[in-house]
Structure formats: structure tokens, C-alpha cells
Amino acid sequence: MVAEELGTEFYFAEQFARPFADSLFPIGYRIPEPLRGALSGKRVVVVDDVINAASAVRGTIEDLEACEARIVGIGALMTLGSMASAFAASKGVPLDALAHVPNNSLWEPASCPLCATGTPLA
């Protein structure tokens, strides 16, 4: 919808299960094969609805860079916590979001209090 509103091209990334499902980010993102060649050299803004851990944006940008696209920004309706802004800063691109909501409940497994006590999520 954003691309349509701006009158520009639209590309998308598909989810796929990474081979090592026990990793911190078990889901990856890739541009479908028929679209990959068209992205070479293009300036791209990655837009997501809500960014929390930034894994979808991170995976999409990783694959866009493999397609030789030039990432020029990240956009979202809402960000939760600071992961999105930290990731955007690490890429040297601006992050624009309509809302920012604090979120302090993301932990890597080594520092997760539920993991430390063996408490299941469900």
C-alpha cells in the first residue's frame, strides 16, 4: 500500500525456515527468484507494519543486499523498543515510524529469565 500511494515499484520478501531452527532467528526472509535481478542498483526502502526484534527487516535487508539493492531507509507503522533504531543506525539509514512504544521484554536465550528457570512459554 505504501508503494502504491507513492506511485513506485513494490517488491516483497518471503519467509522461509532456516536450516538450523534452534537459532535465535529461525525464520529467514528472501526476495523471490523472479524479482531478484530487477533490484540490482535500485534504491530501496524496507517497510514493515511493526518492528520488534527487527528480525524480518534484518533478514530482508540481508537478502536485498545480496541482490545488490541499495538500502536507503526503513519505515514502520510502529516500533517496539530500541532494536529497530539500533539496527537502522548500524546500517546508516534513517528509520521513520508513526509510533514508538517502549518494550523491555526481549532477551537472548543466555540472559532470558524464563530460560534460566526452565519455564516453558506455553
Cell numbers standing for residue 42: 535500485
Q: Is pLDDT above 90 for 26?
A: no
Residue 37 per-residue DSSP state: G
Establish if 122 belongs to a structural domain: no
Establish if 17 belongs to a structural domain: yes
Establish if 48 belongs to a structural domain: yes
Separation of alpha carbons 18 and 22, rounded Å: 9
pLDDT tens per residue, range 33-80? 999 999 999 999 999 999 998 989 999 999 999 999 999 999 999 999
pLDDT tens per residue, range 16-25? 987 765 566 6
Note whether 39 and 55 are within 8 A (CB): no
User: In what helix (H) or strand (E) does residue 90 lie, and over which residues does it extend?
Assistant: helix 83-91
Domains: count for the chain: 1
Separation of alpha carbons 58 and 44, rounded Å: 14
Establish if 53 belongs to a structural domain: yes
Establish if 20 belongs to a structural domain: yes
Selected residue with higher pLDDT from 111 and 73: 73
* Contacts by 7-10, CB closer than 8 A, 24 or more apart: 9/42
Q: What is the CATH number of the domain that holds 9?
A: 3.40.50.2020
Establish if 81 belongs to a structural domain: yes
Note whether 88 and 74 are within 8 A (CB): yes
Q: Which amino acid is at 66?
A: A
- Rg of the chain over CA atoms, in angstroms? 16
Establish if 73 belongs to a structural domain: yes
| Domain span at 97 | 2-117
Backbone angles phi and psi of 48, in degrees to 5: -130, 160
